[in-house]
Amino acid sequence: MAILNILNYPDPKLHTIAKPIEVVDNSIRKLIDDMAETMYSAPGIGLAATQVDRHLQLILVDISETKDNLKVFINPKIIESSGQQVYEEGCLSVPDVFESVKRAEHIKVQALDREGKSFELEADGLLAVCIQHEMDHLLGKVFVEYLSPLKRNRIKIKMKKRAKEHLVNV
């Protein structure tokens, strides 16, 4: 397993639309394992392949306190949604930024698991938020795009300044 590099906003690669995974094979399972190690070490509760510069429809989610309930979604599709909830979200691609975002309260997702078997999952609360957040990455969308242009611009400036400071310190 390996820890992968996570792209940081406003990297234009975060706006790449992910392609469906045609075959779930050992290379996809290795990517899943590497992404899981990356997500847990970050630490985070979700990660999309787009965030590690692999533009495939693959997301991982684990909202458990014990970090032992990894959920893998390959080619996920939301087939039902209802209600609305506002949740304070953060993102591994936008470090140290937390903002309130409105999303569906209840969703039903259809996807493939790490073995390529189809499944459906109903989710609400934090799990529903996390799945929707990660699925947005597959569409090339970062959560800050739900914010006002002013807030989004402030975050973009903060992230660019942070990247420059990191380059100076390397």
Output the pLDDT for position 10: 94
Output the pLDDT for position 170: 56
- Tell me the pLDDT band of 169, cut-offs 50, 70 and 90: low
pTM given for the model: 0.95
Q: Could you say which of 99, 134, 145, 165 is catalytic?
A: 134
The rounded percent of the chain whose pLDDT value lies above 90 is 94
Q: Residues at the annotated binding site? A: 91, 133, 137
Q: What is the pLDDT of residues 46-99, one digit of tens each?
A: 999 999 999 999 999 999 999 999 999 999 999 999 999 999 999 999 999 999
Of the options 3.90.45.10, 3.40.50.620, 3.40.50.720, 3.20.20.105, the CATH number for the domain spanning 12-169? 3.90.45.10
Q: Residues at the annotated binding site for Fe cation? A: 91, 133, 137
CA 86 to chain centre: 18
159 three-class SS:
helix
* Active site annotation includes 134: yes
| Best CA proximity match to 45, nearest among 136, 121, 154, 129 | 129
